[in-house]
Amino acid sequence: MLPGLLLSALVAAGPAPAPTASGGVYEGKPRVRATLVSDVTQVDPGGELRLGVRLEMARGWHVYWKNPGEAGLPSGVVWDAPRVALGPLVWPAPEVHRSADATITSYGYAGAVVLFAHARAQPDVQPPLTVVATVEVLVCEVQCIPARLELTRVLGVGPRLVDAAGAALLDAAAARVPRAPSAAGLRVSVRRTTSFVPGQPFEGELTVERADGSPEPLAASDAFIPEQLPGIASVRGISDGPGRLSIWGKAAADAPSAPPRVAGVVTLASGGALEVSAPFELPAGVAPRPAAMKPPAPARAPGLAWVLLLAFLGGVLLNAMPCVFPVLALKAYGFARTVHADHGSVRAHALAYTGGILASLLLLAAAVLGLRAAGHAVGWGFQFQEPLFVAVLAAVVLVFALNLLGVFEVTPPSHGTGSLVAAVDHTHGPLRSAGEGVLAVVLATPCSAPLLGTAVGFAFAASAPVVLAVFLAVGLGLAAPFCALVLVPGLRTRLPRPGAWMERAKQLLGFALLGTAVWLSGILGALAGVDGVVRLLAFLLVVGLAAWGWGAWRRGPVLAAGLALVLATGVVGLRFGSGQAPAAGRDAWSDEAVAHALAQGRPVLVDFTAEWCLSCKFNERTVLASEPVQSALARTRTQLLVADWTRRDADIARRLAAHGRAGVPMYLVYTPAHPDRPEVLPELLTTELVVGALERAASGHGALGLSSSPR
């Protein structure tokens, strides 16, 4: 007993133990207070006791459960009690907390809660028994403050003495702990489920039944709070009728193929809570099926002839897209030069322009087939996801612009109107027309015209010959308007004759192409950040210097030196890192985000877009940002989600393909009444079309016939 007496004397001589501490100071006031509680003041050797930490939060503040949800950190308690065996921390049923805009869900406790553990003193425990609890919590309102609190309490060792106040607190906390279904006279089972594939969505249904087989009513909202589970990236659940709980989620990419157990807290309508851990595997005799969150390919594919017609018409409509405007301006300039020439010359220009378009599209189709064979998911406009491609294209556009602005010429300068026209004829030969055809294709690919998305989406999932045929049909459609204008005599005679006015028009077109270079710089900024734009501008400066040198001296050594300087600058300077994060205020799309909003009874509008897609930006600024659409979003409580395809994203590529699309824009409108059948809006939006779709979704009468495939 002497060592125990000496220890007692040392404790008595030192500072008094502190069973209570406060922390999480904000604006000069602590936001959480912790107290170490026990159901005994003295424990007998070998006897049982309960130890707990009572957390009291300021009004409006909360701490987190063992699964904090979409934000926060789990609360933690580390015990130090010599010669005492402690069990795991016991957690009362948590509450659901949502951010002010209802976009972030977390699980935790407001007001007060007791986290406790069952303990047993070992037979050789020595007095006094000093218990230390180190508590780490994140206490949050809008802002979050971490707190680390150290609590100490000294208990006696001897005949058991009950701490009435502490026992009452621990009993109340135990009453809030979810019970096992069997302890509540209930049975939980899995009625249906999907196959469990790593990295893919899954879904199923849990049922809660009484002993007689009747369903046990569940809470109308927040009926399921999941635990953090290995192998599962996310999981959610909502009450789907008496005793039924619909569960869906996504398996982690590195999850084992064996079905996991789905664990969590199920809240009953009576106010009680169950601790559920059910095997998420198929009942005997039931075949797996794919999850609804993983959209199957469209059940009915269109015929090849119909797809080729859509591809041709889509190519024609591409001429009306803003992406192609700079090249159309160049062709309008070329029209005035060629239409009054002899028929053979006109035909040569038309064939060269068409040949440039078709050759470019065949090269693009070959790249698509090669990347697809290598296992990469690509879509229409995929090359604009590569910073180096955008940089080289900006340099090509700059060279075209400087040529039009007169910085350099392909032929010697001439004087007089007649000489001017002759010079234009030489500088705008068939090779130039072919180059314009290539440029038209390159600048057209960021846009998706009406009808084109369906055709190209079909091609990207088809065999190699079909891909080539569809791309050729698109090219013929893109070239058709120019060929018609220059080859049909009745149309040719309506265009103005060449003259001195062409010099000013040519210079104006040069500035139009400089505007295209500015647009490409913006795309590169989205891909590689500000540093990438600076590198591009430095490279373009060198390209401009080389073009000026050739125009000023026109000597072979000058041209060779300029090309060498451009090449060296490109090799050294065009090395790009990752770009900036997505713009603030834009909620990112994911299957989980869609499911979360639908579970709250909110419609969802998903905008599949990219920074390099001019059609997307036109729709966003003229329609989606308009006051009628913004009012409709607020009135119908629609959640707007953005699927940004500026950079490569395999999930977005798969979702586009699931709806028969190969590129952006694409717009999906989900309704909670039919969450697996979104309405697919056209590529070109109108205010009336979007407002109508949002109102239908809010009323539960989504235009289901427009959806190409389920979500």
Which domains, ranges and CATH numbers included, belong to the chain?
A: 17-175 (2.60.40.1250), 181-279 (2.60.40), 304-573 (no CATH), 591-706 (3.40.30.10)
Place of tokens 């053979």: 344
Report DSSP state, residue 143: S
Mean pLDDT of 184-201: 76
**Exposed e or buried b per residue across 603-634, where buried means at least 16 C-beta atoms within 10 angstroms of its C-beta:** bbbbbbbbbbbbbbbbbbeebbebeebeebbe
Q: Per-residue confidence at 364, pLDDT binned at 50, 70, 90?
A: confident
Position 257 pLDDT exceeds 80: no
Residue 704 in tokens: 């289901």
DSSP character string of 212-256: TSPBPPB-SSS-EEEPP-TTEEEEEEEE-STTEEEEEEEE-TT--
Mean pLDDT of 338-343: 55
pLDDT for the residue numbered 288: 44
Between strands 95-98 and 105-110, the pairing is: antiparallel
Cα–Cα distance measured from residue 546 to residue 548, given in angstroms and rounded to the nearest whole number: 5
pLDDT for the residue numbered 387: 80
pLDDT for the residue numbered 218: 87
pLDDT for the residue numbered 561: 87
Q: Please write the tens of the pLDDT for every residue from 15-46.
A: 456 899 999 998 889 999 999 999 999 999 99
pLDDT for the residue numbered 322: 58
Q: Please write the tens of the pLDDT for every residue from 58-117.
A: 999 999 999 998 888 899 999 999 999 999 999 999 998 877 656 678 899 999 999 999
Cα–Cα distance measured from residue 335 to residue 321, given in angstroms and rounded to the nearest whole number: 19
pLDDT for the residue numbered 130: 95
Q: Per-residue confidence at 56, pLDDT binned at 50, 70, 90?
A: very high
- Model-level pTM? 0.44
Mean of pLDDT over the chain: 77
Percent of the chain surpassing pLDDT 70: 73
**What Å distances lie between residue 330 and 110, 506, 507, CA to CA?**
66, 8, 11
HSE toward the beta carbon, residue 675, CA cutoff 13 A: 19
Q: Per-residue confidence at 189, pLDDT binned at 50, 70, 90?
A: confident
Position 659 pLDDT exceeds 60: yes
pLDDT for the residue numbered 708: 36
pLDDT for the residue numbered 321: 64
Q: Per-residue confidence at 176, pLDDT binned at 50, 70, 90?
A: very high
Lowest mean pLDDT among 26-30, 298-302, 378-382: 298-302
**What Å distances lie between residue 307 and 447, 471, 474, 477, CA to CA?**
18, 11, 10, 13
Q: Please write the tens of the pLDDT for every residue from 503-552.
A: 677 777 778 778 778 877 887 777 777 777 888 888 899 888 888 888 88
Q: Per-residue confidence at 340, pLDDT binned at 50, 70, 90?
A: low
pLDDT for the residue numbered 306: 76
Comparing 403 with 123, the larger pLDDT belongs to 123
Mean pLDDT of 458-484: 77
pLDDT for the residue numbered 328: 58
Position 380 pLDDT exceeds 80: no
Q: Per-residue confidence at 13, pLDDT binned at 50, 70, 90?
A: very low
pLDDT for the residue numbered 460: 60
Close Cβ partners of 96 (under 8 Å, ≥ 6 residues apart) = 105, 106, 107, 222, 225
